[in-house]
C-alpha cells in the first residue's frame, strides 16, 4: 500500500511516517506539507491511502478532500488531526477513518487495516454499455459535439481533463471516470490512473522503467502505462 501523509507540521509527518513504516502492509510513504505538494504526488504517484490533516496553515484539508474525485483513481482518505470536532464533517465527505494526534501505533495500524480491507474488496465490473456515439463538452458557453471514434486519448493533468481528438484538443473539469463511463469499453481502455486511450490509435508499445510500458500514439504522443494496467492492456491487445 502506498500512503501519502499531508500535514504542514514536519514533526507530525515524520512521526506518522515512522509508525506507518512499522506496518508490513505499507510499501511506501510519501510526505507533503501543502495541498499543492499533495496534488503533485497524487497525480504522479499511485497513492492508495491519504492521511490528511485539516488545519494546514492558511489551507483546509477539506478543500482537497472534496476535490479528490477529480482524480482518475482517488485514494481512500483518513483524517489525521489534533481536533475531534471535525469528525462529523470528515465522515460526511466519505473519509474512512479519523485518527487523533498524538498518534499511537495500535490506532494507526487499525486505520491501515481498515483501508487495506476496503482496497481488497473487489469492484464489480459495470455491465452498462453506452448507447450514444457522441459526447458533448461545454467550453466558454459553447457545447462541442465529439464523435467517440474521433477521440485519440484523454489525460488528466493538474485536475483538468484534456481530450485529444484527430484534429483538436478540448479541456474540461470533468473526470476521467466521467469520460470512461461514456465510451465504448471495447474501443477504449484506461492504461494509467490519469490516461485513457483509443486502442485503434496505439501505434507502438515499448518496455519502460520499472517493468512498465510506454505507448506511442498515432500522432506521436508518448503515454505511460501504469503497472496495475499492464495485464488488462495485454489482454485487450492479445499480447
- DSSP sequence for 187-223: TEEEEETTEEEEGGGEEEEEE-GGG-EEEEETTS-EE
Neighbours of 45 (CB within 10 A): 14
Residue ranges, comma separated, of all CATH 3.40.50.2300 domains in the chain are: 2-120
CATH architecture entry for 2-120? 3-Layer(aba) Sandwich (3.40)
Q: What is the pLDDT of residues 1-37, one digit of tens each?
A: 999 999 999 999 999 999 999 999 999 999 999 988 9
- pLDDT grade, residue 88 (50/70/90)? very low
| Superfamily name with CATH number, domain 134-237 | LytTr DNA-binding domain (2.40.50.1020)
Percent above pLDDT 70 for the chain = 89
The structure's pTM equals: 0.51
- Residue with grid cell 482518505, as numbered in its chain: 77
The cell for 52 is 490528511
Looking at the DSSP assignment, which residues form a beta bridge with residue 214? Answer: 206, 224
Q: What contacts 156, CB < 8 A, 6 or more positions away?
A: 43, 70, 71, 72, 162, 175, 176, 193, 194, 195
Q: How confident is the model at residue 89 (pLDDT cuts 50, 70, 90)?
A: low
Q: What is the pLDDT of residues 172-225, one digit of tens each?
A: 888 888 899 889 888 999 999 899 999 999 999 998 877 788 999 999 999 999
* CATH 2.40.50.1020 intervals, the chain: 134-237
What b/e sequence results for 208-235 when a residue is b if at least 16 CB atoms lie within 10 Å of its CB, and e otherwise?
Answer: eeeebbebebeeeeebbbbeebeeebee
Cell 503497472 -> residue: 227
Please tell me the predicted confidence (pLDDT) of residue 163. 95
Residues in the chain: 239
- Name the helix (H) or strand (E) containing 20: helix 10-21
Amino acid at each position: 500500500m502506498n500512503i501519502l501523509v499531508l500535514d504542514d507540521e514536519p514533526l507530525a509527518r515524520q512521526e506518522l511516517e515512522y509508525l506507518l513504516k512499522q506496518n508490513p502492509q505499507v510499501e511506501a510513504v510519501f510526505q507533503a506539507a501543502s495541498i499543492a505538494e499533495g496534488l503533485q504526488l497524487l497525480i504522479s504517484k499511485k497513492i492508495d491511502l491519504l492521511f490528511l490533516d485539516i488545519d494546514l496553515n492558511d489551507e483546509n484539508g477539506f478543500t482537497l478532500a472534496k476535490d479528490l474525485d477529480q482524480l482518475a483513481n482517488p485514494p481512500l482518505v483518513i483524517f489525521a488531526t489534533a481536533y475531534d470536532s471535525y469528525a462529523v464533517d470528515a465522515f460526511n465527505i466519505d473519509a474512512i477513518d479519523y485518527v487523533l494526534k498524538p498518534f499511537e501505533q495500535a490506532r494507526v495500524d487499525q486505520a491501515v487495516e481498515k483501508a487495506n480491507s476496503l482496497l481488497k474488496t473487489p469492484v464489480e465490473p459495470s455491465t452498462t454499455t453506452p448507447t450514444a456515439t457522441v459526447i458533448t463538452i461545454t467550453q466558454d458557453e459553447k457545447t462541442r459535439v465529439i464523435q467517440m471514434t474521433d477521440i485519440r486519448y484523454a489525460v488528466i493533468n493538474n485536475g483538468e481533463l484534456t481530450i485529444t481528438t484527430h484534429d483538436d484538443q478540448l479541456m474540461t473539469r470533468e473526470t476521467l471516470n466521467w469520460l470512461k463511463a461514456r465510451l465504448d469499453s471495447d474501443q477504449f481502455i484506461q492504461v494509467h490512473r490519469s490516461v485513457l486511450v483509443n486502442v485503434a490509435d496505439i501505434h507502438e508499445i515499448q518496455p519502460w522503467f520499472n517493468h512498465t510500458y510506454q505507448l506511442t500514439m498515432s500522432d506521436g504522443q508518448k503515454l505511460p502505462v501504469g503497472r496495475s494496467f499492464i495485464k488488462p492492456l495485454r489482454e485487450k491487445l492479445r499480447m
